[in-house]
Structure 1
Amino acid sequence: MTQEKGKIEKKWISFGILMLGAGTIYKLGFLKDAFYVPMQEFMGLSHTQIGTAMSIAGLISTFGFLASIYLTDRVSKKIMIPLSLISICVCGIALSTFPSYPVFLLIYCLLAVCADMLYWPTMLKTVRLLGNEDEQGRMFGIMEAGRGLMDTLVAFGALGIFSALGSTAAGLKMAILFYSVVPGVIGIVMYFLLEPDESPVENTAEKSSEKTVENANKRAWEGVVRALKNKNIWLVSFNVFFVYSVYCGLTYFIPFLEEAYALPAALVGVYGIINQYGLKMLGGPVGGFITDKVLHSATKYLRIAFVIVGVILVVFSLLPHQSMGIIPGMAITLCISACVYSMRAIFFAPMDEVRVPREITGSAMSMGSFIGYLPGAFMYAVYGGVLDKFDGLAGYRIVYIIMAVFAAGGFLLSSYILKTIKKAK
């Protein structure tokens, strides 16, 4: 009994530290979120240079997810997770020197490799393996909420340091170092907390290190091939794709509210904090609880949420916004965001429902990340292009209809996945 209790405690401690890592590993890569103007002023970067760095890093991330299909099941999480977090720390220390632009670009590419190729798929794999089938929704939901909370605390901590040092170049250097040290410390702690991946017992005749490496490589490639041949992994991955396509559209709620309702500057900040942080912390646990305790199925929850989001988006696109008050507009957009955040929190949980073998979890999560997060590489350009082509509210109405179409696609795919699960049972 004591041993079992110890295992449970260690599981949740490991989960908590993973959550801390997930909430800090992207802070340096998205330094612009809190320090856009100081980056321009003290690092001498233009809008184009910052945008180019983000685009190149995004491209590296896309191919990083692809490479991680092999790496995640080849290298133990005990090595991969600490390595990624400590590497982020080293990159951050280099960034704090305010390097030349070519070096700045190189650092941003390395940050993308560490976060998206090494850490993220491995973290998803570890979370899945920490929980049983009945805990998937809650664990992924709590992970998203905790990530949002950690994200907020670390961001305010860095802003506090920056302000305390007079909002100067020295303040920015110290804020970057703060963003660097936190994941570094978490990485060191994770090395001592995480257990190595379980691996099949090797044949006694295969004791040489060369043979062991050869067999490990062979098993990893077999895992990749099995993942690529598994229809259910493709189905779950494209369900993530539909959720993320809708999620990309949430970015345009703030400019819409400013244009349609002349949202005051003070309310823009309040709305942004609620939308970015508050709903992430709320939506994750709510989605996880309903998934595990009410519907007992992440796919059922996604199907229902797709319907709710799609219907609200269609109705919202048809409303006479010119004659409406600002409060209904804010309330409706926040409801849509809350639903989408709850979906985003648990959209990898169906991997257990469709019985993806646990020994290829790393390949499955990497593949799901590659396909699922792919809209981030082009949907912002699609939505932005629509808004540039169609002036005023007409462009936003088209964007909301496109988002509703993706929600409809997600509903149809979720229904098909449920039918597949039922047939398998």
Structure 2
Amino acid sequence: METNTKGIQTGKYAANRWFTFAILVLGAGTIFKLSSLKDAFYVPMQQYMGLTHTQIGMALSVYGMVQTVGLIFSIYLSDRFSKKYMISFSLVGVGLTGIYLSTFPTYAGFLAAFAILAIFGEVVYWPVLLKAVRLTATEEEQGRIFGFLEAGRGVVDTIVAFSALAIFSAMGSSAAGLKGGILFFSGVVIVVGIISFFLVPHDEIRETDDSGEKIGKNAAAFQGMMQAVKMKEIWVVAFTIFSVYCVYCGLTYFIPFLNDIYAMPAALVGAYGIINQYGLKMIGGPVGGFLADKVTKSTAKYIRAAFVVAAVAMTVIVMLPHENMNIYVGMTLTLGFGAIIFTMRAVFFAPMDEIKVPIEISGAAMSIGSLVGYFPSTFAYTLYGSMLDKTPGIAGYKMVFMTMIAFSVVGFFISSYLVHVIKKKQQA
């Protein structure tokens, strides 16, 4: 069998790793449908589960809090057990939690279910998935593999979401239809979990310390966690992701911007949302991966360049006379900016390979990246929303956009330092 230094199959065996990658994409595209139930069934959840806006919001807050705290523990867990078990266990766990949700539990049960979904999906699954994806590609393919992951998630996500909506409609858009949709999400993710158990390969779990002495899996996992925490390059990647995500959170406010300033018709809101949610993800992933691998030859360099493009593009948007412009021009401008950010979001974990994170601590590195990188979700939406509430109209949106420019500038400096760190590491 032909392998490279990372243990990745090459030559005629390369088809095996692409098959494994396809299984990983199936899981990544299905596991978060239940925690994102509001995206497809917000109003039915209110009607048939008796939930208010505040109660749904509280469930999402519980999810976020458990995610943030849990990722700290994930730094240890993600390299302690084989990815075969972690991935399949979390997928099946999410599915079983979904079956419980389909019973329309009490509000306390609803909150508990979202806490459990966060544990399975964000704490156990996500860092291990990123680790597994990294290991399916060579160093030269990292941008593309993460780009394909994002695009594949978009395709699977779209198919599964519309299938659930079709079930809901076929069952009369009723309480039974909502249960049917939830059970469909649950069944799909359980099936993918079972498939993953048989088809995702094992990890070699480290049982030795840095000097080769046998110390046991628990001690080795703890030592790996501390090694990852002390590796400054991982934190530089994490804060690069943090900067991208701060800008990404601002994309949420393009729809109210177009509605308030351009008076976007209701018929266009749905079309814009579909393109923004699914289209940009499917296109931005492969494009970002290709540009990173083939044009800049470095994901870190691509992210740095994209921060410059994003800052310039948003500066132009801020300066335009939006009150006198055509709605389709506004849609094109905002979608174009969104596309830039989606190309960055698709590949922002790929620099973990450029900084030469050891294979045995890949899971811990991805956990740190997720903990820091996704932290903006705890404050950015509140920050942007408060700006719009305190300063209504175009002035408020310009404040949001200028803040996004500021985060892009910060991201440029952090990613520039990351490029410097990578260059020094390569010369060492």
Query: TM-score when scaled to structure 1?
Result: 0.96
Q: For residues 407 and 157 of structure 2, what CA distance do their matches in structure 1 show?
A: 28
Question: Who is 1:373 aligned against?
Answer: 374
Displacement after TM superposition at 1:202 (Å): 7.0
Q: Distance in 1 between matches of 2:407 and 2:64?
A: 22
Q: Is the 8 A contact 2:245 2:345 kept in 1?
A: yes
Provide the residue aligned with 1:76 in structure 2.
82
Per-residue displacement from partner, 1:358-390 (whole Å, max 9, x unpaired)?
Answer: 211110000000000000111101111111111
Matched, 1:174 2:180: yes
Q: State the SS of the aligned residue for 2:163.
A: helix
Residue 78 of structure 2 aligns to a residue in which SS? helix
Matched, 1:113 2:119: yes
The equivalent of 2:29 in structure 1 is 23
Matched, 1:137 2:136: no
Aligned residue for 2:133, secondary structure, equals helix
Q: Answer whether contact 2:280 2:342 (CA < 8 A) is retained.
A: yes
Give ranges in structure 1 of 5+ residues lacking alignment.
204-210
| CA–CA distance in structure 2, aligned partners of residues 34 and 115 of structure 1 | 19
Looking at structure 1, the residues matched to 12 and 20 of structure 2 have their Cα atoms a distance apart, in angstroms, of: 12
1:158 to 2:164 alignment: yes
SS of 1:312's equivalent in the other structure is helix
In structure 2, distance between residues paired with 1:195 and 1:11: 10
Contact 2:206–2:220, Cα closer than 8 Å, also in 1: no
Q: Which amino acid letter does the alignment assign opposite residue 169 of structure 1?
A: A
- SS of the residue 1:198 aligns to: coil
Residue identity in the other structure for 2:400: V
Change (3 A) 1:181 1:335: same
2:323 matched to 1:322?
Answer: yes
Q: Which residue identity does 1:414 align to in structure 2?
A: S
Match of 1:147 among 130, 141, 153: 153
Match of 1:262 in 2: 263
TM-score, normalising length: structure 2? 0.95
Which residue is 1:188 aligned to?
Answer: 194
Aligned to 1:235: 236
Displacement after TM superposition at 1:423 (Å): 2.3
Say whether residues 1:57 and 2:63 are aligned partners. Answer: yes
The aligned residue for residue 35 of structure 1 is 41
Give the Å deviation of 1:5.
5.5
Q: CA deviation at 1:200?
A: 4.5
1:255-404 alignment runs, 5 A limit: 255-404=256-405
Range that drifts further, 111-120 or 409-418? 409-418
Deviations 1:69-108 (CA, angstroms, capped at 9, x unpaired): 0000111101100000000110000000011110111011
- Cα distance, 1:130 vs structure 2: 1.3
Summarize the Cα distance change of 1:47–1:13 in structure 2 as closer, same or farther, 3 Å threshold: same
On the 8 A contact 2:66/2:119 being kept in 1, the answer is yes
Aligned residues, how many? 417
Structure 2 spans left out of the alignment, 5+ residues: 3-8
* Runs of 4+ displaced beyond 3 Å: 1-7, 199-203
Where 2:135 maps in the other structure, the secondary structure is helix
Q: How far does the alpha carbon of each residue in 1:17-38 deviate from its partner, in whole angstroms, 9 at most, with x for none? A: 1111111111100101110110
Question: Which amino acid is 1:229 matched to?
Answer: K
Structure 1 position 7, deviation (Å): 3.2
**CA shift at 1:199, angstroms?**
3.2
CA shift, 1:293, in A, is 1.4
Q: Which range is displaced more, 403-412 or 194-203?
A: 194-203
Distance 1:30 1:98 in 2: 16
- For 1:6 and 1:122, locate their aligned partners in 2 and report how far apart those are by CA, in whole Å: 26
Contact 2:208/2:220 (CA < 8 Å) preserved in 1? no
| 1:223 counterpart = 2:224 | yes
Give 1:160 shift: 0.2
Identical pairs, percent: 55
Paired residue for 2:6? none
